[in-house]
Amino acid sequence: MQNKKIFILLPDGVGLRNFSFTNFHKIGLQKGIDITFWNNTLFDLSELGFKEIRFQNAKAHPMTDLLKMAQTRIELNLNIKRSKDTIYNYYRFPFSYSNVKSTLKSLYKEGLILFNNSEKGLERIKKSIAKQERKTKLYFDSLETLKKENPDFVFCTNQRTMLAVAPILAAQDLGIPTATFIFSWDNLPKATKIVETDYYFVWSEHMKDELLYYYPHVKESQIRVTGTPQFETHTEKELLVSKEAFFNEHHLDLNKKYLCFSGDDVTTSPNDPTYLSDTAAAVVRLNEKGHNLGIIFRRCPVDFSNRFDAVLEQYKDVITSIIPKWEKKGEAWHDISPTKADLALQMNTIAHTEMVINLGSSMVFDYVSFNKPCGYINYEVPNAQYPKWSVKNIYQFIHFRSMPSKDSVFWINHPNEIEDCITKTLDNKAENVIANAKQWFEKITQHPPQSASERIWTAIEEICTK
């Protein structure tokens, strides 16, 4: 595929980690591909030596955000009808009625849903989105760029962003093949597929089946199973530093063994400070029994709140907070960007800790890549500040049903069980959990995981030669 020109569309910062900070770009160049990042992030990719074309003040049509919300709600309604399963209700974000403006918007969205709550109605909403986006400056700017550059293929790095719709439509209107990457393991059941492309790149056969189930109009011939570059760096041993160097850099005690507590955002886990406190209390009790343990706290990279401050102060002799190396380049969450340095930081954190404890995150796969177990917190907090939130809802979500065995993690059903999962890990009694987690990992993403970028480029080559 010598000299084929491929546009990598970055509608927001979500795709940076997978496609800018891995070997994805390097592998493409080695294949003789002319790669240009079509960049709508605040990150200057020219600093990495990448060719890029930047968007200028990209904006979606004012109507399409309302239409997008209606589309998501209608898809969730259809998922409930199709599956007879009400768990999809928990994927809904509530409409706001806090003031006149938000009330009018919410009422309009409710009207859209009411009159389009069917497969045919959903198609009307999608056509309306396309119609509105074809009126935008972003669409005409995209047409101009594509006519000038004449790429052979446009590859969108995630499927859920409104700002990707106009560029993808422009490419399709010019006859340029398009594809999108399904960004995360939980995205398809949540009705987050906003862009309609010619091809879809997915993590696994499992995700392929999900795509066909939730989007019956998508044909099997449009899907490519590639894996995700997300886990590739775990095999790049050159990123690892010695235990001594890592501990010295982060002021850790070389005589201690550490576990990692990985935080979630406040919406996913509002009670995380209590869970961190319970974990620290368990470590204190274990240390009183003769262990010498500490905790590395890695907060959710987009959580800049002070909600953990009291716990970190109370347990400052036990917990060391290592802040992810993400950059805040704007006020919106999607303007908080990962960095290449954070990939190395996360990898070394995993390498130099014994296990991870969290509430239902994909860190289970990062740790099992290093043959280490994960403990999933699975209990309510008494008298919690967020009475409408429940841990029971979290593990009912569709993506957790992909577990081949419930024993793929240590289930922490009470604060008193934290000690047990830590001691089992320290006593090398986690082999069964690790083996099951590996099976889960193999189901979730195509193996070997380090070949994902290679498989993506191979699929792009195959499409471009059609």
List, run by run, the mean pLDDT of 10-residue segments along the chain (466 residues).
Answer: 87 92 96 97 92 95 95 97 95 90 92 96 98 98 98 97 97 98 97 97 98 97 98 92 98 98 92 97 98 97 90 98 83 68 94 97 97 97 82 94 96 98 98 98 98 98 93
d(CA 30, CA 1): 11
Fold (CATH) for 234-444: Rossmann fold (3.40.50)
Which residue, chain included where needed, has tokens 């070949």? 451
Predicted pLDDT at 421? 97
CATH number of the 5-60+136-228+449-464 domain: 3.40.50.2000
d(CA 462, CA 33): 13
Handedness of CA 93, 99, 104, 105 (dihedral sign): negative
The segment(s) of the chain belonging to CATH 3.40.50.2000 are 5-60+136-228+449-464, 234-444
Q: Which of 265, 213, 212 is nearest to 85 (CA)?
A: 213
Q: Which of 385, 376, 429, 435 is nearest to 405 (CA)?
A: 435
Contacts of 68 (CB under 8 A, 6+ apart): 129, 162, 194
Q: Where are the extended beta strands (E) located within 27-144?
A: 34-39, 52-54
130 to each of 151, 167, 337, how far by Cα in Å?
Answer: 22, 11, 28
- Cα 388-392-393 angle, rounded to 5 deg: 65
Q: What is the pLDDT of residues 138-193, one digit of tens each?
A: 999 999 999 999 999 999 999 999 999 999 999 999 999 999 999 999 999 999 99
Q: What is the pLDDT of residues 386-423, one digit of tens each?
A: 777 889 889 999 999 999 999 999 999 999 999 999 99
Residue 33 near residue 4 (C-beta atoms within 8 A): yes
Our measurement of the distance from residue 411's CA atom to the centroid of its chain's CA atoms, rounded to an integer in Å, reads 23
Predicted pLDDT at 334? 57
**Buried (b) or exposed (e) across 3-42, using 16+ Cβ within 10 A?**
ebebbbbbbbbbbbbbbbbbbbbebbeebebbbbbbbbbb
DSSP code of residue 189 = G
CB hemisphere CA count around 444 (13 angstroms)? 29
Q: Where are the extended beta strands (E) located within 299-419?
A: 319-321, 327-328, 336-337, 356-358, 374-377, 410-412
Helix (H) or strand (E) holding 199: strand 199-202
